[in-house]
């Protein structure tokens, strides 16, 4: 009897942990299903297999969902010619990423796309170990000459536009910004937002609160509440959940999201959001890889490329505001409206960009490591 109970205990514990693994995997069944389909398809036509590695789940309501929208567009565009293999909830440690990618390559993937910054070093090593496979990396800065490229977008452009909207609509002249961590990418967004707001409203002040986390909806909501308590009447975010928008809605104030069009989730507050159109990069790039003409590049998609943009502005944005924003957006789409044009100074009054100077991509990522005048934050 005692032996049996011990066995039972063990079996239950194992079942529990296995279920947990399946639970975390979520879409674990999908790659298998895709692979089966792929096996059938390969008898008739040569489908290219593309592996996508996500840090979250494909419907996480934020970052990975935006990535997955790109994947879906790729599927739609290529139809039978491309099979996708998706791995979700992949942690940012090198061995996990490598195992996941190698597993995809073993299933026949000839393109592997990593969509989080922390996947970079693993992809770099794999690119050397698997010269026949092409690796694309979102948000990184490493590449090689043969089979490893990276891509990112000029999010400062739509951020500037959202700043204009907020600057024109605010009544208190105080705007709240919920951000995850203080680092360059976030600083660029905050600064672009502030400059956009200041371009239409010189008295506007941007207050930033950092949550020091990418995954805490309640914390992001509480951070927004603290900004609302400081009289901010429009909240925006460089954070992944709908928490800040929900806080604004509950307080009867307005919100600008990030990554996704949340007009249906937060109808009472949602104005618009800067969004990614990953397909604008992925489709032509995959096409080139299939054709054998791909040369690794460090892609930086702009509004002109259509790679980034604004989610449709809701009816909460007055028509005259929409008109003004569309006017500037049209100039950005024509490539005639750079965001960081001097004079720009930092919070202490030191000149960051001199009068008459304009920052290009490299300049943006080196200069914008601090916050501009008119922004208050504790770092």
Partner 1 sequence: MLVGFLSAAIIAGTPLLFATLGEIFTEKAGHLNLGVEGMMYMGAIVGFIVGLNTLNPILAMLGAVFSGGMGALLYAFLTVSLRVNQTVCGLTLTIFGEGFASFLGQRVMGSIVPADIKGFFVARPIPGLSSIPYLGEIFFKQDVFVYFGYLVIIVATYYLFRTKKGLNLRAVGESAAAADASGINVTLYKYTHILLGGALCGLGGAYMSLVTVPVWQEHIISGRGWIAVALVIFASWNPIKAMLGAFLFGGLSILGYRMQSMGIHISQYLIDMLPYAATIIIVIISTRKNKKEDMPPADLNNPYFREER
Element (H, E) at 137: strand 134-138
Distance between CA atoms of residues 53 and 94, nearest Å: 13
Binding mask 282-311 for partner 1 (x = CB under 8 A): ------------------------------
Nearest CB to partner 1, comparing residues 16 and 291:
16
Give dist(CA 48, CA 38) in Å, integer.
Answer: 9
Q: How many CB atoms lie within 10 A of CB 42?
A: 13
Q: Cα(216)–Cα(64) distance, rounded to whole angstroms?
A: 15
Nearer to partner 1, 7 or 306 (CB): 7
Q: Which residue number, 8 or 39, has a Cβ lying nearer to partner 1?
A: 8
Closest approach of Cβ 186 to partner 1, in Å? 14
Q: Residue 353 pairs with which residues in a beta bridge? A: 344
- Residue 112 CA to residue 136 CA, distance in Å, equals 6
Can you tell me which of 108, 118, 217, 342 binds partner 1, judged by CB under 8 A? 217
Greatest C-alpha distance within the chain = 86
Rounded Cα–Cα distance for residues 211 and 229 (Å): 16
Does residue 91 touch partner 1 according to CB under 8 A?
no
In angstroms, what is the minimal distance from the CB of 7 to partner 1? 10
176 binds partner 1 (CB under 8 A): yes
| Stretch of residues binding partner 1 (CB under 8 A), selected from 68-76, 207-215, 270-278, 302-310 | 207-215
CB of 15 to partner 1, least distance (A): 9
Site for partner 1 in 3-22 (CB under 8 A): 5-6, 8-9, 12-13, 16-17, 19-22
- Please check whether residue 173 is in contact with residue 203, taking contact to mean a CB–CB distance below 8 angstroms: yes
Nearer to partner 1, 185 or 225 (CB): 225
Pair type for strands 48-53 and 344-345: unpaired
From CA 176, how far away is CA 204, in angstroms rounded? Answer: 11
Q: How far apart are CA 244 and CA 117, in angstroms?
A: 24
Considering the rule CB under 8 A, would residue 229 count as an interface residue with partner 1? yes
| Binding flag, residue 241, partner 1 (CB under 8 A) | yes
Residues near partner 1, by CB under 8 A:
5-6, 8-9, 12-13, 16-17, 19-24, 26-27, 56-57, 59-61, 65, 89, 176, 207-213, 215-219, 221-223, 225-227, 229-230, 232, 241-243, 246, 265, 376-378
């Amino acid at each position: 009897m005692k032996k049996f109970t011990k066995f039972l205990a063990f079996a239950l514990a194992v079942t529990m942990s296995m279920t947990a693994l399946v639970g975390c995997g979520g879409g674990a069944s999908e790659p298998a299903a895709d692979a089966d389909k792929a096996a059938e398809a390969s008898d008739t036509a040569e489908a290219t297999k593309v592996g996508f590695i996500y840090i979250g789940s494909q419907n996480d309501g934020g970052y990975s969902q935006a990535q997955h929208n790109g994947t879906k567009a790729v599927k739609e565009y290529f139809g039978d010619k491309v099979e996708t293999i998706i791995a979700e909830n992949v942690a940012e440690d090198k061995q996990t990423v490598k195992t996941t990618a190698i597993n995809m390559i073993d299933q026949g993937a000839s393109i592997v796309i990593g969509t989080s910054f922390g996947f970079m070093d693993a992809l770099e090593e794999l690119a050397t170990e698997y010269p026949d496979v092409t690796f694309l990396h979102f948000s990184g800065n490493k590449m090689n000459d043969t089979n490893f490229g990276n891509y990112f977008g000029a999010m400062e452009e739509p951020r500037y536009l959202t700043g204009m909207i907020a600057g024109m609509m605010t009544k208190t002249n105080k705007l709240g910004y919920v951000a995850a961590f203080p680092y360059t990418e976030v600083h660029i967004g905050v600064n672009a937002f502030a400059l956009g707001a200041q371009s239409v409203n010189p008295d506007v002040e941007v207050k930033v609160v950092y949550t020091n986390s990418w995954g805490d909806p309640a914390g992001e909501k509480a951070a927004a509440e603290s900004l609302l308590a400081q009289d901010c009447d429009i909240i925006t975010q460089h954070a992944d959940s709908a928490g800040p928008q929900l806080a604004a809605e509950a307080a009867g104030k307005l919100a600008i999201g990030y990554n996704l069009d949340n007009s249906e989730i937060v109808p009472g507050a949602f104005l618009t959001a800067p969004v990614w159109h990953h397909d604008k990069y992925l489709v032509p790039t995959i096409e080139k890889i299939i054709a054998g003409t791909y040369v690794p590049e460090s892609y930086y998609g702009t509004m002109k490329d259509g790679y980034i943009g604004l989610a449709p502005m809701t009816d909460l944005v007055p028509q005259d505001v929409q008109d003004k924003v569309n006017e500037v957006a049209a100039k950005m789409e024509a490539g005639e409206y750079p965001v960081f044009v001097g004079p720009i100074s930092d919070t202490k009054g030191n000149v960051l960009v001199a009068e008459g100077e304009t920052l290009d991509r490299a300049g943006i990522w080196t200069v914008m490591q601090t916050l501009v005048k008119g922004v208050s934050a504790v770092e």
